[in-house]
Chains A and B, each alone.
Chain A
Amino acid sequence: SQQGEEDPQALSIQEGENATMNCSYKTSINNLQWYRQNSGRGLVHLILIRSNEREKHSGRLRVTLDTSKKSSSLLITASRAADTASYFCATDLINYGQNFVFGPGTRLSVLP
């Protein structure tokens, strides 16, 4: 199975609500990153959290990392229709440097 796996696979919410996506991984990492992909286009980097960090904020995004549980969560507050996209977590494995492993993604739909 994959190093990183997002949960849920799909999420549908109303505009203004918060969206939470989770990512689990199996082996020790240097850092974990979240990306967004709109409609089969290239990925956009959202946020990077290092293995010695527990929480990070960027605008309406909040990312947490629990290395003891090997999991991370991405919270999008006050969601907008423009947040509709697929969200991926990517982990880089210790001793593999810049080789990232992406999960299958969470498809978020924000309904107006």
Chain B
Amino acid sequence: EAGVTQSPTHLIKTRGQQVTLRCSPISGHTSVYWYQQALGLGLQFLLWYDEGEERNRGNFPPRFSGRQFPNYSSELNVNALELEDSALYLCASSSIRSYNEQFFGPGTRLTVL
């Protein structure tokens, strides 16, 4: 069974640009979560999607947004990039059957110059 996949693995952008990160959950998982992990820090919850709907979002400005597609894959969009957006962006998926255990992808490393 394939795990959670994310693309791209690395990305370099400049301030003010926009970026789209992608995530494909494990087959059968309907929930997708996005987290931001700045260097050396813990995970900060960004967004939670389930069955195509945004269920919850963390304490991030509106320029962080996303969506979940009918096949349960998801995109995270960040507009007007700022230097402090440089981080590892992790996607995780879960299903009710797995009792909410989250399976993580390898992450996308975003560097904003």
Residues of A within 8 A of B (CB): 2, 30-31, 33, 35, 40-45, 48, 88, 90, 92, 96-105
Contacts and interface: CB of A to CB of B under 8 A. Distances in A.
B90 interface: yes
Contacts of B100: 30-31, 92, 97-98, 100
Given A33-B101, A45-B103, A102 B42 contact: yes
A102 B35 contact: yes
Nearest to B106: A42
Interface in B1-34: 4, 31, 33
Q: Which 5 A-B pairs have the closest CB atoms?
A: A104-B42, A42-B104, A102-B43, A43-B104, A42-B106
Interface in B41-58: 41-43, 45, 48, 50, 55-56
Contacts, number: 63
A100 B103 contact: no
18 contacts: A40-B37, A40-B39, A41-B106, A42-B104, A42-B106, A43-B90, A43-B102, A45-B101, A45-B103, A92-B100, A98-B31, A98-B50, A98-B55, A98-B100, A99-B45, A102-B43, A102-B45, A105-B42
Contacts of B90: 42-43
A45 to B, nearest CB: 5
A88 B104 contact: no
B94 interface: yes
Contacts of A100: 33, 45, 100, 102
Given A40-B88, A98-B50, A2 B42 contact: yes
